[in-house]
Amino acid sequence: MTVRALVADPAAQEGIGLGEAGDPDPRPDQVLVDVRHISLNRGEVAFASRFAPGTTLGHDASGVVARAAADGSGPVEGARVVVFGAGAWAQRVAVGTDSVAEVPDGVDLADAAALPMAGVTALRTLRSRPILGRRVLITGAAGGVGRFAVQLAALGGARVIASVGSAARGEGLAELGAHEVVVGLDGIDRPVDLVLDNVGGAQLVAAWRLLAPGGDIQSVGWASGEPAAFAPHSFFSLGPSRSISTFGDATRFGPDLATLVEFVAEGRLSPEIGLRGAWDGVAEAARALLGRQVSGKAVLDVEPYRRDAGGR
């Protein structure tokens, strides 16, 4: 039995094609989920060619539990869920119950699919420092991580400075909670306490110069793909240490996903879906994402699994 899946395919546009994968065989601590929606993340799309041909891609999905975990943990059969797990861009996926959260009735499953990688990354990096009353700079603020980070930083009581590539890309960020929306970093005239850097390259260097004593840059991503050249002695500073921290925690998403989906249910967090379509349009969606044309998240609808169609 097979399921349809978005797989690494060197012959397909953007290196991602609709193919076949084995019907997942869950471990005792995994739920089996019938996937309804998936969301794309920049890294998954940009680096699809690094995976062996045929590998099922993706991490973010939402759907309905087809079979509960054998060990009794996690949601029951029929529960609506959002999940984070490798190989999630398929009609069915097996995911550890520690990376699953139930979706409240009032929350659309497509909205839930937008949350996992970008939302949890924003949440976890913002939690790295106290932000109440602090100046928090978010670069690449118009993107998936950025739009969640703006909202969550504002929820946490920060003074939020959102940096974007052009004025047009800044649209809607003030409504989400940004106190200042700037193009690039030149317009920022006071030090910042925490930076969530999604862009890397020259913006990372400029952000370092803006950092207050004791401040930290969470290096979330490097969307620019550009090198960062620091002037000699850039890392000497008087007073409390300044730091640049790496981030790459892809474990145990369940509790943080539950927090985010609850925020959505309460109307405190908007999923910010800038592109929605069917999953056979993955190439166009990938191009738009890499071309900086998606405001927030790209969410795709998955053709439902049908056992009577031989698992298709």
Binding site for ligand NAP (CB under 6 A): 41-43, 117-118, 121, 140, 142-146, 164-165, 169, 198-199, 220-224, 247-248, 289, 292
Instruction: Select from 159, 124, 142, 123 the least CA-distant residue to 223.
Output: 142
Q: Which is nearer to ligand NAP, 43 or 104 (CB)?
A: 43
Q: Which is nearer to ligand NAP, 43 or 172 (CB)?
A: 43
CB of 278 to ligand NAP, least distance (A): 20
Tokens 């003030």 correspond to 174
CB-based burial, 12-32: b 16+ in 10 Å, e otherwise:
bebbbbebebebbebeebbbb
Q: Which is nearer to ligand NAP, 27 or 127 (CB)?
A: 127
Question: What are the backbone dihedrals phi and psi of residue 145, each rounded to the nearest 5 degrees, phi first?
Answer: -60, -45
CB of 39 to ligand NAP, least distance (A): 9
Q: How far apart are CA 106 and CA 271, in angstroms?
A: 14
Q: Which is nearer to ligand NAP, 49 or 240 (CB)?
A: 49
Q: Which is nearer to ligand NAP, 13 or 72 (CB)?
A: 13
Helix axes 116-126, 254-265, angle to 10 degrees: 100
Q: How far apart are CA 3 and CA 188, in angstroms?
A: 50
Q: How far apart are CA 270 and CA 182, in angstroms?
A: 21
Q: How far apart are CA 241 and CA 160, in angstroms?
A: 22
CB of 135 to ligand NAP, least distance (A): 20
CB of 206 to ligand NAP, least distance (A): 11
The distance from CA 147 to its chain's CA centroid, rounded to whole angstroms, is 10
Contact partners, residue 168, CB within 8 Å, separation at least 6? none
CB of 142 to ligand NAP, least distance (A): 4
Q: Which is nearer to ligand NAP, 91 or 99 (CB)?
A: 99
CB of 178 to ligand NAP, least distance (A): 13
